[in-house]
Structure 1
């Protein structure tokens, strides 16, 4: 309710956020929270820079844009034709926004090199290094690596420290897409999964995910102060006059690729004041406890099977329901084809009955599986029990 109150107030104020004179309090709030998020990442105080953006995809686009400008500042005036054939790297389980960024920025999706993952969905550092070397041998120019902290499907955390070593070795920009996993920085129990993030050049963090801030609330954070401004600044004379009577560094609108900018900061600021870091920590820990409960329940139920072995790292729990009609027969291609249809049939029945909804998807050669993502700390164990019982009840009589 606190976040919703913040959203209502900003809607009532109906102000923009490109200059200090238009939104002085909100501009200062944004700077304070960017500084706080930098501290949680592990960057020094004087490095704090960043901006709140319309979502994780735009934040990731900002990171590629700034990285390209860092290596090739003349791209701003001369365009992509003046650059060599640059390539970027991201894992095969990463978010699709890196392909989108490459399309939008003129880099091209064919220049997004996907890196293999292990069975838990984590990027394999040795494959990253091999592909960097191969691209260099082909005459291409690697410049950027994305590591994911909390992948979309498995909730996996890439080995950030090892990826940082490789980026340092080859002089590459390291971005961490922590849109989903960034909240774990607030948890003393789980923040170790983010070890190495302090070595990143940029980080995407979406408080509208694990911190439950009302949509939209996404931050793109940079370790190098001033880079975002240099990359995006165009000094529009009707907005960003350099001879104003106040410190014009507060006119943050010229850091962005937008003009008008929604006030996304107040609801986060208000929630942080109300809950405190400790309150967010308790909320996040509860969600991960619920995920652990789901995992343990699944290991004890006969007709359920986990997509990958071991406990989940985040709140994503992926599993199959195996109907009795598919038990005890050979698991060949025909069996996989039948299993592929199970989640869709069960979800359709769920929606017809109006009981629950849970997402499903395939992944590479794996047939459709259910994916529970627990981000609501109000969810109870009884809710989880009901969900699993409902899946079994609806799927028990399925015939193939």
Structure 2
């Protein structure tokens, strides 16, 4: 008999930046005594933002464990991946080898600070130092301004896309900085959208971007759609003028594309 014991919720999916309903998931996990893990590797940084954290991350405090990768959106140098647990000592109870030839207990400091016996890798880079140093430099308020700015720039891009419906089609309202859209060359304008043809436009336009060397925008499919462009703004140094240039350059490079 199969008995579920673990539920993995996602806060910020890779392609669409979607968020699972954490409160509802937490209710189910508590009812059936299941471990609730939240993969916030992409979206966890929004916890710094009082403006944008709710409702996206409402309920994350009820999780038993959370992953968060500051290198993905916070500007922390690669690699910096973290995992957080509600229960103190759980990593040691699960992973400790108690290898006396490696981990001495009679130290002048609290051996609980040692990470080697807590993780399955034993030895690894001290990734967290990069985040600590960055946090000391920017502060919590600096991280909040960073996240707010990224969201504001993405909202600006959405507005500019909507202002040009003859050239761009927004696939869905983004929950995060993932702005997903199609570009419409002249051949595809003033007619019903043919998703398969618009998907083919993505590869051709990306090729033109690479040849021109002026912009680069990634594209992906999902389980319901063919290829579409997915723009991510992860640097607070980006400006509204940069967003305008990106869209105008896409149109300059792609307006004459023809697909079958």
Question: TM over 0.5, yes or no?
Answer: yes
Match runs of 1:80-119 below 5 Å: none
Aligned to 1:270: 133
Which of residues 194, 197, 209 in structure 1 aligns to 2:57? 194
Q: Does residue 165 of structure 1 match 2:27?
A: yes
How far residue 265 of structure 1 moved from its aligned partner, in angstroms, is 2.0
Q: Give the TM-score, by structure 2 length.
A: 0.94
Q: Does residue 337 of structure 1 match 2:205?
A: no
Q: Does residue 145 of structure 1 match 2:11?
A: no
Q: Which has the higher contact order (CA 8 A, sep 6+)?
A: 1
Match runs of 1:55-66 below 5 Å: none
Which of residues 353, 369, 372 in structure 1 aligns to 2:228? 369
How far residue 329 of structure 1 moved from its aligned partner, in angstroms, is 4.3
SS in 1 for 2:214: coil
SS in 2 for 1:203: strand
Deviates more, 1:244-253 or 1:196-205: 244-253
Aligned to 2:179: 317
Task: Provide, for residues 189-237 of structure 1, a one-character-per-residue CA deviation record: whole Å limited to 9, x for no partner.
Answer: 1121211001000000111122211111111000011111111100122
Which of residues 137, 147, 162 in structure 2 aligns to 1:299? 162
How far residue 342 of structure 1 moved from its aligned partner, in angstroms, is 0.4
Q: Could you tell me whether the CA contact under 8 Å between 2:82 and 2:128 is conserved in 1?
A: no
Task: Provide, for residues 41-86 of structure 1, a one-character-per-residue CA deviation record: whole Å limited to 9, x for no partner.
Answer: xxxxxxxxxxxxxxxxxxxxxxxxxxxxxxxxxxxxxxxxxxxxxx
SS in 1 for 2:230: strand
Task: Provide, for residues 128-164 of structure 1, a one-character-per-residue CA deviation record: whole Å limited to 9, x for no partner.
Answer: xxxxxxxxxxx31111111111111111111110110
Alpha-carbon distance between aligned partners in 2 of 1:260 and 1:152, rounded to the nearest angstrom: 28
Aligned to 2:210: 351
Q: Could you tell me whether the CA contact under 8 Å between 2:71 and 2:81 is conserved in 1?
A: yes
Cα distance change, pair 265–330 in 1 and its aligned pair in 2 (3 A): closer
SS in 2 for 1:366: coil
Q: Could you tell me whether the CA contact under 8 Å between 2:7 and 2:35 is conserved in 1?
A: yes
Alpha-carbon distance between aligned partners in 1 of 2:12 and 2:76, rounded to the nearest angstrom: 18
Which of residues 327, 332, 353 in structure 1 aligns to 2:189? 327
Aligned to 2:122: 259
**Gaps (5+ residues) in structure 1?**
1-138
Aligned to 1:211: 74
**Gaps (5+ residues) in structure 2?**
none
Which of residues 34, 38, 46 in structure 2 aligns to 1:184? 46
Q: Give the TM-score, by structure 1 length.
A: 0.62
SS in 2 for 1:163: helix
How far residue 273 of structure 1 moved from its aligned partner, in angstroms, is 1.1
How far residue 328 of structure 1 moved from its aligned partner, in angstroms, is 4.0
Q: Could you tell me whether the CA contact under 8 Å between 2:95 and 2:120 is conserved in 1?
A: yes
